[in-house]
A = this chain, B = another copy of it.
Amino acid sequence: MDIRPQNNPMHWKQRAYRIIFESDTPAGQAFDTVLLVAIVLSVLTVMLESVAHIAAQHGQFLRAVEWVFTGLFLVEYIIRLVVVRRPLAYALSLLGIIDLLAVLPTLASLAMIGSHYLVVIRTLRLLRVFRIFKLGRFVGEGEFIVDALKASRFKILVFLTAVLTIVIVIGTFMYVVEGGKNGFTSIPQSIYWAIVTLTTVGYGDISPVTVLGRTMASILMILGYAIIAVPTGIVSAQMARPTTDAPTFKQATCHICQANGHRDDAEFCWNCGEKL
């Protein structure tokens, strides 16, 4: 796991880097565990704050806790910027942007009331800490799913286009058929109903009443029931395809772009090309 030459004595930045960005040392794993708990607690805090009767009783306490967490995450973000070799590359990487978004809403809430709820975007930070459980395994399985979806992306796009065309055309017909009544008050509304129906969600807030409307709704439902087979078939067929010698992954993180999931035999980051 010797990701970089061991200059003895190690510079404090390098030590901090290993603790914060890597998880191959006890200190690094401890840091990740604390971070994981902090993220979950901070998201729970924001959730509880939104419940009226809890906010009435413990509002001030929860708000204080949220500011403490935000302060900690801000400090963590600044340290990350300091210890990483190329701060700009980190700041503009996906994980870097998520780290920033995790603190911005609370700060923004000083100016704009309500925006601080968006802080739950912190949940995405959990992606980072997956590292602490057998990373390679998870990343490998995640990549398998993402690869299958990527390989099917054109098929899925064609499928979604077909779905959109169906709901637009049927939604409009329903608007004409139901005569703007029974909740079908406009074409966008009717399209919303068509989506609710085709996807088999079926809220029931809008439902057809006329005979012709119910007949068309029945056709749409059976259609929706049957065409779910298409994306499922696409992904199943893709996943069933024999994969050529699946590579294993190492725990190292690129120290420039923070990408994970490098093959065990990788020498360069698959994302930014930096030497690992």
Contact = CB atoms under 8 A, between A and B. Distances in A.
A207 B205 CA distance: 7
Interface string A154-166: 1111111101010
A234 to B, nearest CB: 6
B231 A240 contact: no
Nearest to A198: B225
Q: What's the dominant secondary structure at chain A's contact region?
A: helix
Nearest to A54: B186
Nearest to A130: B161
Interface residues of A, number: 85
A43 to B, nearest CB: 7
A222 interface: yes
A137 interface: yes
Contacts of A263: none
A234 B240 contact: no
Interface string A215-236: 0011001101110111111111
A195 interface: yes
Interface in A134-172: 137-138, 140-142, 144-145, 148-149, 154-161, 163, 165, 168-169, 172
Given A51-B187, A203-B203, 5 more contacts: A47-B191, A117-B176, A137-B154, A142-B158, A203-B207
9 contacts: A43-B168, A46-B187, A52-B185, A117-B176, A120-B169, A123-B165, A163-B222, A203-B207, A236-B240
